[in-house]
Amino acid sequence: MARTVREDNQITGTLQNVIFSANDSYFKILSVTVNKTDLEDWDEEGIIVTGTFASVKPGSTYAFYGQLVTHPKYGQQFQAARYENQMPADEKGLVAFFASGDFPGVGKKTAEKIVDHLGQDAIDLILADPSVLTGLVKPKVAADLAEKLQENLGLEKLFLLGHQIGLSADVAGRLFDHYGEAAQEVLQKTPYRLVYEFDGLPFKKVDAIAKQAGFPDDHPDRIQAGVYAGILNACYSAGHTYLTVDQALAAAQSTLQSNSSSMQIAIDQALGALVSQERLVYEDGNYSPTDLKGAEVLVSSKVKSLLTAKSAVQTTPDLVDTTFVVPENLDLDEVQRAAVESALTNQVFVLTGGPGTGKTTVTKTLVATWEALVRHQAQSQGRDKEWVKQNRVRLASPTGRAAKRMTEITGYEATTIHRLLGITDGDDAEFDADNPISGGLLIIDEASMLDISLAESLFAALPKGMHIVLVGDADQLPSVGPGNVLYDLIQSQVVPHVALERIYRQGKGSSISALAQSINAGILPRDFQENQSDRSTFLSTADQVPRAVSQVLQAAVKKGFTANQVQVLAPMYKTPAGVLALNQIAQDLFNPVKSGQKTLQQGETIFRLGDKVLQLENDSERDIYNGDMGQVIAIHYKKEPGVAADSLVVDFDGQEVWYTSKTLNQLTLAYATTIHKAQGNEFKLVILVLTGQFKIMLNQNLVYTAITRAKESLVMVGDYSAYEYAATHPVPVRQTFLQELLVDQQNGRRATRAKQADSRVGQLAEHQGQTVDCDGQTTNLDSQSASRADRLGTQQSQTTAVRQEATQQPQTADALSAESDQRSLISSSQQKPAVQTPLAADQVAGESGLTTVTLAQAMADPMIGMADLKPADFMPESR
Ligand SMILES: Nc1ncnc2c1ncn2[C@@H]1O[C@H](COP(=O)(O)OP(=O)(O)OP(=O)(O)O)[C@@H](O)[C@H]1O
**pLDDT, tens only, 785-802:** 233 233 222 333 333 333
Please indicate whether residue 356, judged by its CB atom, sits closer than 6 Å to ligand 1: yes
Please indicate whether residue 333, judged by its CB atom, sits closer than 6 Å to ligand 1: yes
Atom from ligand 1 closest to the CA of residue 355: 26
583 in Cβ contact with 570 (< 8 Å): no
Give the span between the Cα atoms of 590 and 109, in whole angstroms: 68
DSSP, collapsed to helix, strand or coil, labels residue 21 as strand
- Residues annotated in a binding site for ATP: 356-360
* Cα–Cα separations (whole angstroms), residue 213 to 190, 471, 855: 9, 52, 62
- Pocket test of ligand 1: the residue of 332, 352, 360 to mutate, having most ligand atoms within 8 Å of its CB, is 360
- Ligand 1 centroid to Cα of residue 360, in Å, is 6
- Beta bridge partners, 393, equal 441
- What is the dihedral angle through the alpha carbons of 630, 634, 635, 640, rounded to the nearest 10 degrees? -160
Atom from ligand 1 closest to the CA of residue 502: 8
Residue nearest to atom 18 of ligand 1 (CA): 358
Tell me which of 707 and 751 has the higher pLDDT: 707
701 in Cβ contact with 506 (< 8 Å): no
* Candidate from 7-11, 114-118, 234-238, 874-878 with smallest mean pLDDT: 874-878
Q: What is the pLDDT of residues 798-832, one digit of tens each?
A: 333 333 333 333 333 333 232 232 222 222 223 33
Please indicate whether residue 509, judged by its CB atom, sits closer than 6 Å to ligand 1: no
* Candidate from 152-156, 330-334, 549-553 with smallest mean pLDDT: 152-156
Please say if the pLDDT value at position 86 is more than 80: no
Euclidean distance between the first and the last CA atom of the chain, given in angstroms as a whole number: 34
* Candidate from 192-201, 502-511, 869-878 with smallest mean pLDDT: 869-878
Give the span between the Cα atoms of 595 and 593, in whole angstroms: 7
Alpha helices of 381-460 — where are they, by DSSP H?
385-390, 400-410, 417-421, 452-460
| DSSP labels, 580-630 | HHHHHHHHHHHS---TT--EEEETTEEEETT-EEEE-S-BGGGTB-TT-EE
Q: What average pLDDT does the chain have?
A: 82
Across 590-616, average pLDDT:
91
- Pocket test of ligand 1: the residue of 361, 364, 475, 508 to mutate, having most ligand atoms within 8 Å of its CB, is 361
Across 568-587, average pLDDT:
95
pLDDT of 341 reads 96
Please indicate whether residue 268, judged by its CB atom, sits closer than 6 Å to ligand 1: no
Atom from ligand 1 closest to the CA of residue 711: 26
- Ligand 1 centroid to Cα of residue 332, in Å, is 10
Across 488-516, average pLDDT:
89
User: For the chain, what is the largest distance between any 2 Cα atoms, rounded to a whole number of angstroms?
Assistant: 100
Please indicate whether residue 282, judged by its CB atom, sits closer than 6 Å to ligand 1: no
- Ligand 1 centroid to Cα of residue 309, in Å, is 32
Q: At what angle do helices 510-520 and 700-707 cross, to 10 degrees?
A: 170
Give the span between the Cα atoms of 503 and 870, in whole angstroms: 37
Please indicate whether residue 337, judged by its CB atom, sits closer than 6 Å to ligand 1: no
Across 573-580, average pLDDT:
93
- Ligand 1 centroid to Cα of residue 330, in Å, is 10
Tell me which of 839 and 228 has the higher pLDDT: 228
Total number of residues shown for the chain: 879
Nearest alpha-carbon partner for 172 in 326, 25, 375, 346: 25
Across 766-787, average pLDDT:
35
Alpha helices of 213-260 — where are they, by DSSP H?
220-238, 245-256
Atom from ligand 1 closest to the CA of residue 332: 1
pLDDT of 232 reads 97
Give the span between the Cα atoms of 657 and 614, in whole angstroms: 12
Please indicate whether residue 472, judged by its CB atom, sits closer than 6 Å to ligand 1: no
- Beta bridge partners, 497, equal 350
Please report which confidence band the pLDDT of residue 238 belongs to, taking 50, 70 and 90 as the band edges.
Answer: very high
Atom from ligand 1 closest to the CA of residue 509: 26
Give the span between the Cα atoms of 624 and 617, in whole angstroms: 8
Please say if the pLDDT value at position 610 is more than 60: yes
Q: What is the pLDDT of residues 267-305, one digit of tens each?
A: 999 999 999 999 999 999 999 999 999 999 999 999 999
Give the span between the Cα atoms of 775 and 49, in whole angstroms: 38
- Ligand 1 centroid to Cα of residue 17, in Å, is 64
* Cα–Cα separations (whole angstroms), residue 415 to 43, 349, 401, 405, 492: 58, 20, 9, 10, 28
- Residues annotated in a binding site: 356-360
Residue nearest to atom 15 of ligand 1 (CA): 358
Please indicate whether residue 208, judged by its CB atom, sits closer than 6 Å to ligand 1: no
DSSP, collapsed to helix, strand or coil, labels residue 363 as helix
Q: What is the pLDDT of residues 633-648, one digit of tens each?
A: 999 998 888 777 889 9
Please report which confidence band the pLDDT of residue 753 belongs to, taking 50, 70 and 90 as the band edges.
Answer: very low
DSSP, collapsed to helix, strand or coil, labels residue 412 as coil
Residue nearest to atom 5 of ligand 1 (CA): 504
Please say if the pLDDT value at position 506 is more than 80: no
pTM for the model: 0.73
Atom from ligand 1 closest to the CA of residue 363: 18
| DSSP labels, 816-858 | HSHHHHHHHHHTSTT-----SSHHHHHHHHHHHT-----HHHH
Q: Strand 46-52 to strand 75-86: parallel, antiparallel, or no bridges (unpaired)?
A: parallel
Tell me which of 85 and 565 has the higher pLDDT: 565
- Ligand 1 centroid to Cα of residue 565, in Å, is 21
32 in Cβ contact with 61 (< 8 Å): no
Q: What is the pLDDT of residues 144-174, one digit of tens each?
A: 998 888 777 777 777 877 877 888 777 888 8
Please indicate whether residue 336, judged by its CB atom, sits closer than 6 Å to ligand 1: yes
Residue nearest to atom 6 of ligand 1 (CA): 504
- Ligand 1 centroid to Cα of residue 563, in Å, is 26
pLDDT of 432 reads 92
Task: Provide φ and ψ at 343, rounded to 5°.
Answer: -60, -35
96 in Cβ contact with 88 (< 8 Å): yes
Give the span between the Cα atoms of 110 and 796, in whole angstroms: 49
